[in-house]
Structure 1
Amino acid sequence: MTALAVLLVLGVLAFAIIRPRGLPECVAALPAAVLAIYAGLVTPVQARLAVADMLPTVGFLAAVLALAHLADALGVFRWLASVLGRSSRRDGHRLLTFVFVAGAVTTAALSLDATVVLLTPALLATARQEGLVARPYSYASVHLSNSASLLMPVSNLTNLLAFSAVGVSFLHFTALMALPWLVAVVVELLVFRWFFARDLDRPGHDDTVAPVPAPRVALTILGLTLAGFAVSGFAGIEPVWVAGAGAVALAVPALARRRTRVRRIVRETTPEFLLFVLALGVVVAGISHGPLGRLLADHLPSGTGFVDLLIVAVGAAVLANVVNNLPAIMMLTAALGAAAPSGAATTGLVLAALIGVNIGPNLTYVGSLATMLWRRVVAARGEPARLSTFTRLGLLTTPAALLAATAALWLALQI
């Protein structure tokens, strides 16, 4: 039974990574979920509870994806690329710093998918327009989509799953992860400046790039939406309603100006991927409720000292690179919840696991689906990823960022 549960998870993930003939991930995940129930790996009640627990998270994800698409339709990313290009003054080092700021903020506020799908093409176009080598900014986008997704629940699907497990407010979650997020981004920037020094030293050309007007309405709505996330906990409002309201507010001008259509908005929420997440939750429950889940719960640390946090973070990073970060965080939150005396996952340990599953995927291609998506995006734009570059960069950044971010989390928990 345990072997079958593991094979189902690995099979679903392999299909999601390869996506034969471009088929959506749910094509494999839904039959696997049915098989897990039929084989007795998870009971119908456990499957129903797993889906019910994840529905608010999936709804939140759909709203954030709609927000990112509508922001792009209203010109937010074109404007951002224009600002980056003009601010860099054709200097590669300056542009890299601005890219890190823009990428970290975009990932934190609009999710890692926005950084990979929307910001990456804008960064490549900006670098080429300025006559600079595009390679450093391409790898910066994928690293930031992972490492810079620590800050808020909306930044990553893994965050949403951890957020629902720890039961803290949106503002409390963000406050605890602010220092780890900042430290991870700074460590990455320092390594990037050294690793890509030759590329960054090459001067750009002197062509003048025309400025793009700021999309004030879209930026205002995005700002109000983020503020709404911050205060939602005090008002007793679930963040999903704030995200939904922000998406509706952005949809009004986007539709009125014919920048998008209702059908396109729905498509951008990727319903097939949302089904994949729900089905994967059922498949992973087959492991979480089995011997492997109990073994994991029995051997995870129960304290919140620095060594305990580091053990969980490193273990989570390893697990993410073995089975991908999405099932890794599902398994870890379930195990930590089962290990806690009250039945509620310990906040510090779950957040340490989150650091591991978010930073860890910068080490291998299979660590996160975002990395696989980034490879397709950059290849389509003439800047294909190289395994040797990705691996060497990952070996330099991942351990250092993991250690620094975990230390920052331990410090944040003491305050």
Structure 2
Amino acid sequence: MKPGDKVAAGVLLAGVACVATGWLPGDQAWASLARVAPLLLFLTGVVVIAELAREALVFDVAATGMAIAARGRPWALFALCVLFAATLTALLNLDTTAVLLTPVLLALAVRTGVPGLPLAMVAVWLANTASLLLPVSNLTNLLAADRIGLTATGFAARMWAPQLASVLVTAAVLWVLHWRKVEPYRVPEPVRPRDRRLFGVSLAACLLFAASIPFVHDGIAFVAAGIALALVAAFAALDRSVLRPSLVPWRLLVLVSGLFLLVPALVLHGVGDAVSALVGTGLARTAAVSAGLANALNNLPAYTAVEAALPGADADHLLAVLIGVNAGSVALPWASLATLICLEACARAGVRVPMARFVASGVLVAVLTVAAATGALWLTG
């Protein structure tokens, strides 16, 4: 069992123990699980879509196409990678960027000769800082949208400025710390899909899901699941070999389920009062405390803890919480599961990530992006 699997199992067992011992009353446990069930369905659908799209080489074709379009110019490749990572995160969830784009960018490093670390850091940071725009961009956003009652278009109308500020600040730090010294690279050969039919179906599935986001609110989980099932059926007819149980993100499902039992129990027994005292009333303080909790714990339990501590909060304060737990969860590796997944991919590819430098630069990104995004939220309020 991998370390991440052990953590997920441990969190679930701790949550079950809270219910079994009465630390979390049964009715509250069921209410919490009922709230998270649509999120788990959504997460499963999106990850299956993305995994099958990866099998069909949709992301490889796109990433190599960017390297070809940039014609060996590092600044152009950087701009395209930032745009691709930010768009993928916003439309298909930060876990898609972490699980699928990171290995693709690391493989692109081999094809082009660009150092792996600059490419990997695009995915590591933007998987978090670009997850503010839509409810589907992050599980925390889905939770907030449910409580605030915002549609996808309403959410985007309120968060486009924080998203833009967060992405631009992240891009600036990425350029200064990782990209400005990258040398011109060799232009790779195009990647050819192994099966054009599966490539076309997978690309269509991704585009259909993205196109459905503005028109679906409460049923987005069922849309994701339906498209995933249709894509699975296409693969079953054309290439059954890639269909395997590991397509389902079991570890994520177990971890999230456990957190939604463990965190409510902790909130009931003193954590909620402590968080409430810390958060205060201002947007900047709310975002800063949320970012600190995300790095101390993890972004998902941090959101649920702060949300529970702000029962009468208005929409802007909950959106400030999202800015903190999403854009601010880049300082420490465990602050975001997406970051842990990216770092695992780097380790498998032999790309060394100096941890002291990672933390120091992550603190810089967290402070600057949270400040910029919160300022944008306040200015457009």
TM-score scaled by structure 2?
A: 0.91
What is aligned with 1:383?
351
Residue matched to 1:372: 340
- Answer with 191-200 or 365-374: which moved more: 191-200
Does the aligned pair in 2 maintain the 1:364–1:394 contact within 8 Å? yes
Segments of structure 1 that go 5 or more residues without pairing to the other structure are 1-17, 303-307
1:334 to 286, 302, 308: 308
Distance in 2, matches of 1:368 and 1:292, equals 20
Give me the identity figure in percent. 33
The match for 1:210 is 190
Residues 284 and 374 of structure 2 are in contact (CA less than 8 Å); yes or no, is this contact kept in structure 1? Answer: yes
Aligned pairs (5 A) from 1:280-295: 280-295=259-274
**Structure 1: distance between partners of 2:165 and 2:366:** 12
How far does residue 210 in structure 1 lie from its aligned partner after superposition? 2.7
1:175/1:248 Cα in 2 relative to 1: closer, same or farther (>3 Å)?
farther
Over the residues paired in the alignment, what is the CA RMSD in angstroms? 2.2
> Offset at 1:329?
0.7
Structure 2 counterparts to residues 65-214 of structure 1, below 5 A? 65-200=47-182, 202-205=183-186, 208-212=188-192
- Partner in structure 2 of residue 297 of structure 1: 276
Gaps of 5+ in 2: none
**Aligned match of 1:56:** 38
User: C-alpha displacement at 1:218, in angstroms?
Assistant: 2.8
Q: CA deviation at 1:127?
A: 2.6
Match of 2:237 among 228, 231, 256: 256
Letter of the 1:407 counterpart? G
Which segment is superposed worse, 374-383 or 163-172?
163-172
How many aligned positions are there? Answer: 377
SS in 2 for 1:361: coil
Q: Using the alignment, how far apart are the partners of 1:144 and 1:253 within structure 2?
A: 31
Contact 1:107 1:155 in 2 (8 A): yes
Check conservation: 1:84, 1:98, Cα contact below 8 A. Answer: yes
Report the counterpart of residue 7 of structure 1 in structure 2.
none
CA contact (8 A) 2:121 2:174 kept: no
Alignment of 1:338-377 (within 5 A): 340=312, 345-377=313-345
Q: Is the 8 A contact 1:90 1:132 kept in 2?
A: no
> Does the aligned pair in 2 maintain the 1:24–1:272 contact within 8 Å?
no
Look up the match of 1:277: 256
**SS at 2:130's partner residue?**
helix
The amino acid of 2:145's aligned partner reads: F
1:331-361 CA-partner distances (Å, limit 9, x unpaired): 1111222xx1xxxx52211111111011112
Q: Deviations over 1:256-289 (max 9, x none)?
A: 2216554x2x532223431321221111111222
- TM-score where L is the length of structure 1: 0.84
Secondary structure of the residue aligned to 2:89 is helix
Match of 1:319 among 293, 300, 309: 293
AA aligned opposite 1:353? V
| Higher alpha-carbon deviation: 282-291 or 242-251 | 242-251
- How many Å apart are 1:398 and its aligned residue? 1.8
Residue of structure 2 equivalent to 1:240: 221
Match of 1:267 in 2: 246
Change (3 A) 1:198 1:186: closer
Deviations, residues 75-114 of structure 1 (Å, cap 9, x unaligned): 2111112211101211222111111001111111222222
Partner SS state of residue 181, structure 2: helix
**SS class of match (1:42):** coil
Q: In the aligned structure 2, how far is the partner of 1:401 from the partner of 1:140?
A: 15
| 1:15 aligned partner | none
**Aligned position for 1:305:** none
